[in-house]
Amino acid sequence: MLCLGIGGGGDVVGTMAGAAAARELGARVELGGLTWERGPVDPLPGPRRITELDRAEPVHAYGALAGPDTTGPGGFRFAESHIASVTGRSCALIDPSGGPHGTAAAIAAVAQRLGCDLVMLLDVGGDVLAEGHEPGLASPLADAVLLAAAPLLRTAGLPVIACVFGAGCDGELTPTEVLARIAQLDAAGGMLGTAAPPERGLVDIERALPFVLTEASAMALRCARGERGIAPIRGGRRTVELSEAGGLLHWFDAERAMASVAPLASAVADATSLAQADEILRARGVRTELEFEVGVAATAQA
């Protein structure tokens, strides 16, 4: 199984929870994520292209394998580079610039390279299930493009299972909002199961946290360890409700989600690029992380 963190940044750390659950069922699991780091790590807007990576193994125009020394422009190390260092195994890197079709092709190529016959698309936080109007929503684009790749992967013969870990832990959708989407998805026959992560997965996350800049996965770990209350993140600009739901893995059928509670993925399904997907969401009045990063970069250059 190839377990991919679909939100970029430190979502790859959260995949360790899903990976541990899969391993308990006997699966061999490889980890991965996106070439899209957060601003404090990579100040350039959007994801990095595979041609911009140094000391990576290109597998596809939109996919590569990262090792401990894989870097981007300016020498920053990806979260996946740190995970490769912690685990001692190569980590997949997917560039979503090609939209759902390019992304699906890259995932399929990387999965074949790693010998994986199943994909888990894991979102830390739950905004993959956003409708677009939620007041806290800030980074829906990557999630939408990656989820929209699921039907294409199935058509290519690669089954997909989707997962939310750390409901509300990225400070965007609240746990209540995420649980409402999960209830709706369950009513639509799209939920596959909910469970606490195995202890091994929590230990793996704890090992990775000192090396990877991620607050959402750290909040999910705190939830799984039984902490409750309100915790500030993003320098106090956002808060997270530490809840029982935040410490659970919620598995679901990606295509049933697209047909019911994940309208943003459905909206970008035919986009030929990340830029076009961004335009589609913005035309619907949805704020995106790419729009935000481009604005920050423009301000910095002014």
Model confidence pLDDT, tens digit, residues 80-115: 999 999 999 999 999 999 999 999 999 999 999 999
Give the pairing type, strands 160-165 and 249-252. antiparallel
Query: Residue 56 is part of which domain span?
Result: 2-250+263-292
- The pLDDT value recorded for residue 301 is 79
- Domain assignment of residue 299, yes or no: no
Task: Return the minimum-mean-pLDDT range out of 17-21, 211-215, 250-254, 281-285.
Answer: 211-215
- Domain assignment of residue 298, yes or no: no
Report the 10 Å Cβ neighbour count for 237: 8
- The pLDDT value recorded for residue 300 is 83
- Domain assignment of residue 189, yes or no: yes
Evaluate whether 33 touches 4 at the Cβ level (below 8 Å): yes
pTM of this structure: 0.97
What φ, ψ does residue 55 adopt, rounded to 5°? Answer: 60, 45
- The pLDDT value recorded for residue 120 is 99
- The pLDDT value recorded for residue 274 is 99
Does residue 131 sit in helix, strand or coil?
A: coil
Angle subtended at Cα 150 by Cα 144 and Cα 151, rounded to the nearest 5 degrees: 115
Q: How far apart are CA 222 and CA 277, in angstroms?
A: 34
- Domain assignment of residue 11, yes or no: yes
Report the 10 Å Cβ neighbour count for 250: 25
Average pLDDT over residues 146-151: 99
User: Is a pLDDT exceeding 90 seen at residue 235?
Assistant: no
- Domain assignment of residue 301, yes or no: no
Q: How far apart are CA 227 and CA 43, in angstroms?
A: 33
Average pLDDT over residues 271-298: 97
Evaluate whether 16 touches 31 at the Cβ level (below 8 Å): yes
- Domain assignment of residue 12, yes or no: yes
The conformation of residue 122, written as its DSSP 8-state character, comes to E
**Per residue in 187-204, pLDDT tens?**
999 999 999 999 999 999
**Per residue in 121-138, pLDDT tens?**
999 999 999 999 999 999
Evaluate whether 62 touches 105 at the Cβ level (below 8 Å): yes
Q: Could you give the number of structural domains in the chain?
A: 1
- Binned at pLDDT 50, 70 and 90, residue 236 comes out as confident
What φ, ψ does residue 266 adopt, rounded to 5°? Answer: -60, -40
Report the 10 Å Cβ neighbour count for 55: 11
Average pLDDT over residues 254-272: 98
- Domain assignment of residue 238, yes or no: yes
- Domain assignment of residue 255, yes or no: no
- The pLDDT value recorded for residue 36 is 98
Of 214, 154, 241, the closest CA to residue 17 belongs to: 214
- The pLDDT value recorded for residue 295 is 95
